[in-house]
Amino acid sequence: MKNSVLLGTLAFAGLAAAGASAATLDDVKARGSLNCGVNTGVPGFAAPDANGEWQGFDVSVCRAVAAAVLGDPEAVNFISTTGKTRFTALASGEVDLLARNTTWTFSRDTDLKFDFVGVNYYDGQGFIVPTALGVSSATELDGATICIQTGTTTELNLADYFRVNDMSYEPVPIETEAEARTQFLAGACDVYTTDRSALASVRVTYPSPDDYVILPEVISKEPLGPLVRHGDSEWGDIVRWTYFALVAAEQYGVTQDNVEEMAAEAGDNPEVNRLLGTEGELGAMIGLENSWAKDAIAAVGNYGEIFSRNIGEDSPVGLERGLNALYTEGGLQYAPPFR
């Protein structure tokens, strides 16, 4: 008995020590797979499909990084994390990368010692209510019972919003999306609040989506993005530039279909050539093969393709590009030059 406790502790400490080592890239290469922290299941963003394959907007980031680093988009261990467990999972080294609609905030970036590598979805917090309630604005929610996921920024935003507007509410804290669904559909809470993208995503999974309406108010800025541990800048660079490669690919018209053709030989656009590795040595600068960006794009497509396939207007979730359009089309998605 004593032995097993001791060994258990040793094993635990060993794991912690392994997780804390600095060179994440070496660990991933040695392991031959990427440990990627994702949501517990938000359709469109991260959820297993009928075959048990993880699919979604956030999942694509994981697959792109795996493709860039290991050349294989399937070499990913997806690890479901809740709002509460995600940061511990990343800090302890259980995951190499967290792509789980996580809001970039000052304290998470500095105090919690993480690095946000970019914003893959510009979001804001909203409310969903049953149409039968007859509510058309969040300012009419005084006294409502509100379901909210604990350990998220939405929890703090909600408290601030109601305090500033001098309204009262009854918070019902919940742990996962599934619990929220049970409670909200049973009418145990009047309102469910989280990021608007997630609301749109869960609304389509409700038995009769038309009976629920998302209120027009957006009460916060929620820049959602992938993040890595602070202190391993090389790894941070890889994830950041893999993401930028997807955005740049959309801007320059590189798609999943034509990427092989465009990467076969150097073309007219020197930036595309550098991106796809037909010119220069960008891959070597971040410790990867020169075809890293090509592999990533070939695996998941460019940013626009990922968006429209998973959450865009043609998908069941049906979100508009809005702020997430390229800067050339009035949005905020912008990749720095590949040079």
Partner 1 sequence: MTTLSDPPRADGFRLSLLVRDKRYRSYTFQAIALIALILFFGWLASNAIRNPVLRQAGIDFGFLADPAGYDINQQPIPYTSQSSHLRAAFIGAINTLIVAFLACATATVLGVIAGVLRLSNNWIVRKLMAIYVEMFRNIPVLIWILIIFTISANVFPQPSAFRGDNPEASPIFGVAAITNRGFYLPRPYFTNGIGAVADEVPADAAAPVAQEVASNANWLIVLAVLVTSFFAVRAVNAWATKRQNATGVRPTTLWVNLGLWFVPIVVTLVILGLRWEVPELRGFNFQGGILARNSLIALWFALSVYTGAFIAENVRAGILAISRGQTEAAAALGLRPGRVMSLVVLPQALRIIIPPLISQYLNITKNTSLAIAVGYMDLTGTLGGITLNQTGRALECILLLMAFYLVFSLVISAVMNAYNASVALKER
Contact positions vs partner 1 (CB under 8 A)? 6, 9, 13, 16-17, 20, 83-84, 87-88, 91, 107-108, 111-113, 132-133, 141-145, 150-151, 155-156, 158-160, 162-163, 169-175, 179, 182-183, 186-190, 231
Give 216 or 231: the residue with its C-beta nearer to partner 1: 231
Contact 99, 62 (CB under 8 A): yes
- The residue type found at 244 is F
CB within 8 A of 232, min separation 6: which ones?
22, 23, 24
At closest approach, how far in Å is the CB of 339 from partner 1?
33
Minimum distance from residue 138 beta carbon to partner 1 (Å): 13
**Residue 296, φ and ψ in degrees, nearest 5:** -65, -45
Smallest gap from residue 23 Cβ to partner 1 (A): 13
CB of 129 to partner 1, least distance (A): 10
Nearest distance, CB of residue 327 and partner 1, angstroms: 33
173 versus 330: smaller Cβ distance to partner 1: 173
Of residues 22 and 332, the one with the C-beta less far from partner 1: 22
CA-nearest of 78, 96, 76 to 27 is 96
72/109 with CB nearer partner 1:
109
Strand order in 144-149's β-sheet?
169-174, 144-149, 191-195, 125-130, 212-214
Exposure string (b/e) for 140-164, b if CB count within 10 Å is 16 or more? ebeebebbbbeebbbbebbeebbee
Phi/psi for 37 (5° steps) reads -85, 125
Residue 91 vs 266, nearer CB to partner 1: 91
